[in-house]
A and B are shown apart, each in its own frame.
Chain A
Amino acid sequence: MAWYLGKRLLQLIPVFFGATFLIYFMVFSLPGDPIAALFGDRQPSPQVIEQLRQQYNLDKPFIIQYLLWIGGVFRGDLGLTYSGLPVSSQLAQAFPITARLAILALLFESIAGIVVGVIAGLRKGKLFDATALVVSLLLISVPTFVVGFLLQYVLGINLGLFRVTVSGQAPWSELVLPAIVLASVSFAYIVRLTRASVAENVSADFVRTATAKGLPRRRVVGVHIFRNSLIPVVTYLGVDIGNLMVGAVVTEGIFNIHGVGGTVFQAVKLGEGPTVVSFVAVMVIIFMLANLLVDLLYAVLDPRIRYAK
């Protein structure tokens, strides 16, 4: 297991540098001078511009810029935005909000999704199963922002059950509705995945054996079917962290939440390169670590993977 973990961690290193370089390249190869854009019509003296270019390392070759930035990342210094704020303090403000949103969404989608999926899988072909399939298909085909507007309109405006927008501090209670919106698509995928794998495992040989040797139904379902059915679901959760981050950009936009997604979106629109690269880099790191965690969980759930070369 330790050997497996080490190998996986080593593999992450080139991917990390490759991905951050790619993002850095995309953002800073953009045409237009961000320093000149700061001033608009009243351009300052060339000396001031030169000094600012030096401060943001824009006078150096591209590869040096990247190395200086990535060096700073390891020291916890993400540089300054073009308006002079440290990017790290921006991140410190936005991150907890999005973390709360993502935790709520993950809890909702995994608990509700697995419960519904297991019930549907055990009652394959019955009414509950058919309903779950249709509803999940609808949820998958309706994009996140449409689900967002729908719930905002029905629950927020028509019924007045939830606040339509979230206040600056974004407490847990106000994030419930946005989290459900964020989780809706993934919830549907988890239902379908769990259902398919439970339905397949119900007729597996090991389940027949377990039933034949007289284990109570509760144990057969709870241990033999459940644990084996979780493998595809756990794999999906890793990919899903990526979906959640994209979803966060949209959901935070709709509900006016000042989290990571909302900040990235604003920064992209305003051309705030330093904010975009650092935030997206953080998202990519989280995505990579989540996938690593999933691979490890996968190895815990399925011993064959631990030993396979």
Chain B
Amino acid sequence: MPSNAAPRSATHYVAPIEETPLQAVDQVNEDEKTRSTWSDAWDSMRTRPMFWVSSVLILLIVLVALFPGLFAHVDPRAADLAKSNEGPEAGHILGFNRQGNDVYARTIWGTRNSLIVGVVATVLVSIVGIVIGALAGFFGGWLDTIVSRIGDIFFSIPTVLGAIVIMSVIPARNALTVSLVLAVFAWPQIARIMRGAVLSAKQSDYVTASAALGVSRFTTLVRHVVPNSLAPVIVVATVSLGTFIVAEATLSFLGIGLPQSALSWGVDIGNAQASIRTAPSTIFWPSAALSITVLAFLLLGDVVRDALDPKARARR
């Protein structure tokens, strides 16, 4: 069967001859700083207001997660049942939840667990996905076949669904185990993207040049191919940080993520469910905090994608 596949990159810009006078080629300014993908991306990002909005927001969220005591002076675990579901008063600006806890303090303290799960799961998924995807894509052969099929198996189980099943079995439920369980089902996504990026980077001239110079295959992979394949992984990882935070909240909301004793937005939203008619604000504040955090990472992911994808940069 003849291959009908059209060349994928038929859009190379070829300048007419008069635009590239030959002497210009010789007039390369060698003192000029070399420009990498990353410095281009940085230049493109810092001109966008959305980058600064999301970065400042994320910085604030990280500060709250690291030092919640600076932002809330009330003990989030102090419960006064007499104040159950009561509205705001002096010193308790968002009122009380069903158990009589201060809603503001619990929302502030809940940041830490969400962020831990988001960061740990993202780091785990990125490390596993990058290593496996890079090896499979670069060396190919039976390694690629086996790894890709194993990835398919984990990919065929939706992340949160798999996490629901494992979390019901695991005796130790804390931020680390939740991250680990989410990562178990989420790594194939990164591995697939990394594998695809490595496959296309493998065709580059610098890989041939590196081989011609006698550099070992493994060194070529680590020094040249991987750094040039990271861009799409970074984009997906930024966005998935947000989705892991949602996943943790969903599991905790269902009662099988973090335990009842944990300070977590998901747990608080789940507990406030019963009071939706009488005290809807107890459900509103942790939900708002959760949504804003996820939004911050989504926005950053959008900006990073635009910056790392030259096509998108040209479109804007």
Q: What is the interface of chain A, defined by CB distance below 8 A to chain B? A: 11, 14-16, 18-19, 22-23, 26-27, 29-31, 137-138, 140-146, 149, 152-153, 157, 199-200, 242-243, 245-246, 249-250, 253-254, 264-265, 268-269, 271, 276, 280, 283-284, 287-288, 291, 303-304, 307-309
Which residues of chain B from 244 to 278 have a CB within 8 Å of any chain A CB?
246, 249-250, 253-256, 269, 273, 276-277
Q: A22-B153, A146-B291, A284-B157 are in contact. Are A307 and B168 (CB under 8 A)?
A: no
Bound form: Cα–Cα A308–B8 in Å? 12
B91-127 interface bits toward A, Cβ cutoff 8 Å, 1 = contact, 0 = none: 0000000000000000000000000000000000000
A250-B250, A265-B164 known; A146+B5 contact, CB < 8 A: no
| B182 lies within 8 A of chain A by Cβ | no
From B36-44, B201-209, B292-300, give the one contacting chain A: B292-300
Q: Which residues of A contact B168 (CB under 8 A)?
A: 30, 268-269, 271, 276
- Tell yes or no: B141 within 8 A of A by CB: no
- B5 near A307 with CB under 8 A, answer yes
User: Which of chain A's residues have a CB closer than 8 A to the CB of B162?
Assistant: 23, 26
Q: Could you list some 19 contacts between A and B, CB below 8 A?
A: A14-B149, A19-B153, A31-B171, A140-B298, A141-B292, A143-B250, A145-B253, A245-B161, A246-B250, A250-B253, A254-B273, A264-B164, A268-B165, A276-B165, A280-B161, A284-B157, A304-B4, A307-B5, A309-B3
CA distance A253 to B5 in the complex (A): 48
CB under 8 Å from chain A, chain B span 278-303 = 280, 283, 287, 290-292, 294-295, 298-299
Residue B129 interfacial (CB < 8 Å): no
When A and B form their complex, what is the total count of cross-chain residue pairs whose Cβ atoms lie within 8 Å?
132
Tell me if B6 counts as interface (CB < 8 A to partner A): yes
Interface contacts beyond A22-B154, A199-B315, A243-B158: sample of 13 additional A-B pairs, CB < 8 Å, sorted by A: A19-B156, A22-B157, A23-B165, A26-B165, A142-B294, A149-B287, A242-B161, A245-B161, A250-B250, A268-B164, A283-B158, A287-B158, A304-B6
Task: Among A141, A271, A287, find the residue whose CB has the most chain B CB atoms closer than 10 A.
Answer: A141
Give the nearest-CB partner of A146 in chain B.
B287
* Contact residues in A for B171 (Cβ distance below 8 Å): 31
Q: Answer whether residue B22 sits at the interface, using C-beta atoms and an 8 A cutoff.
A: no
CA of A264 to CA of B167, assembled, Å:
13
Q: Shortest distance in angstroms between B256's beta carbon and chain A's nearest beta carbon?
A: 7
A285 to chain B, nearest CB (A): 9
Closest B residue, CB atoms, query A307? B4
Flag if A303 contacts B295 (CB, 8 Å).
no
| Interface members, chain B 123-169 (any A CB < 8 Å) | 149-150, 152-154, 156-162, 164-166, 168-169
> Which of chain A's residues has its CB closest to B249's CB?
A143
With beta carbons under 8 angstroms apart, the residue of A138, A268, A307 that contacts B1 is: A307
Shortest Cβ distance from residue B187 to the other chain A in the assembled complex, whole angstroms: 14
**The 8 residue pairs across chains A and B that have the minimum distance between CB atoms:** A18-B153, A141-B295, A242-B158, A30-B169, A141-B294, A146-B287, A246-B160, A268-B168
A11 to B145, CA, bound (A): 11
User: Smallest CB-CB separation from A244: which chain B residue?
Assistant: B158
Q: CB < 8 Å: which of B6, B157, B276 contacts A23?
A: B157
Pick the contact of B280: A141, A153, A200, A265 (CB < 8 A): A153
Residue of A nearest to B245 (CB): A143
Query: In the assembled complex, which residues on chain A have CB atoms less than 8 Å from the CB atom of B6?
Result: 304
Q: Using known A-B contacts A140-B298, A303-B4, determine if residue A146 contacts B161 with beta carbons closer than 8 Å.
A: no
Assuming the A-B contacts A149-B273, A157-B277, A249-B254, are A287 and B164 also in contact, with contact meaning beta carbons closer than 8 angstroms in the complex?
Answer: no
B242 at the interface (CB under 8 A from A): yes
A19 near B157 with CB under 8 A, answer yes
Q: Which B residue's beta carbon lies closest to that of A16?
A: B156
Alpha-carbon separation in the docked complex, A10 to B249 (Å): 37
**Are B295 and A146 in contact (CB-based, < 8 A)?**
no
Contacts of A307 in B (CB 8 A): 1, 3-5
Of the residues A18, A27, A243, contact of B165 by C-beta under 8 Å? A27
Contact of A26 among B166, B255, B277, B315 (CB under 8 A): B166
> How distant is the Cα of A200 from the Cα of B154 in the complex, in angstroms?
33
Which residues from chain A contact B269 at a C-beta distance below 8 Å? 145-146, 149
**With the chains together, A307 CA to B3 CA distance in Å?**
7
**Smallest CB separation, A207 vs chain B (Å):** 15
